[in-house]
Amino acid sequence: MSGDIRRALVASPTPAARAAEERLRAVYDFAPIEAADMVVALGGDGFMLQTLHAMLEARRILPIFGMNLGTVGFLMNEWRLDGLDQRLAKAKSFKVNPLRMTVDTVDGEQFSIPAINEVSLLRETRQTAKLEVEVNGRMVLPELVCDGVLVATPAGSTAYNLSAHGPILPLGSALVALTPISPFRPRRWRGAILPEATRIRFAVLNPVKRPVSAVADQREVRDVAQVEVRIDRTTPLTLLFDPEHTLDDRIAAEQFIA
């Protein structure tokens, strides 16, 4: 292992990722994740999110270098067996501040869950959701009738947010996207771009008749009464990228894909 940097290796359970893991372990030395200074992750974007969430839950945040063995791989680097030491030495780091979703349910339970890509509120039945929207304590939409709404970080702006026709945000923009999903009323509202320090609160109108779930990346809470979303600067995450293909370059390039 080069220098004093101890690296751990984790892989998704897919056959391709497991095979790549075996090949890497045959060539390079890796430390247990408990003793590591950084992590190499093999898989797709979903596995990268799982790994980052595991770090947040363990309260031990390490820089992470992903190699794509999934489908999209937006948060990953290209898979290559050769030159890992050199790639890690030259990798460019990006700090990503996750969102923090605080949820109160109809039954009075409360949950606090981080989200790296987005927090989304989604209707649970065939009936549309009716939501009240506050920004920094000020009512901005007394009634948003929709299939749902989401708040996306720059890192997540090219994921679900883009599919919902939300804006692509440059990584260093310090902004979040507030994007409706199939809005019915107000019909012409297409969302907003807000400073990342903004506190956004959603109250579910008639939550028993029109139940709504809240999802932070891959973690769902059902039958919510209200949700508050804000940036959590206490737990910044570090993603590592090859200098010739960094995350901000990918975000910029996505704006020119038809």
- Please tell me the distance from the alpha carbon of residue 204 to that of residue 131, in angstroms, as a whole number: 5
* Residues 6+ positions from 131 with CB-CB distance below 8 Å: 121, 141, 143, 144, 146, 149, 202, 203, 204, 205, 212
**Token pair listed for 251:** 């975000």
Neighbouring residues of 34: CB distance < 8 A, sequence distance ≥ 6:
none
> Residue 52 and residue 238: Cα distance in Å, rounded?
9
Residues annotated within a binding site for NAD(+)? 45-46, 117-118, 147, 155, 158-163
Q: Which residues make up each annotated binding site?
A: 45-46, 117-118, 147, 155, 158-163
220 Cβ contact partners less than 8 Å away, ≥ 6 residues apart: 213, 214
Is 45 labeled as catalytic in the residue annotation? yes
Name the catalytic one among 29, 45, 104, 223.
Answer: 45
**Can you tell me whether residue 133 is helix, strand or coil?**
strand
Catalytic residues: 45
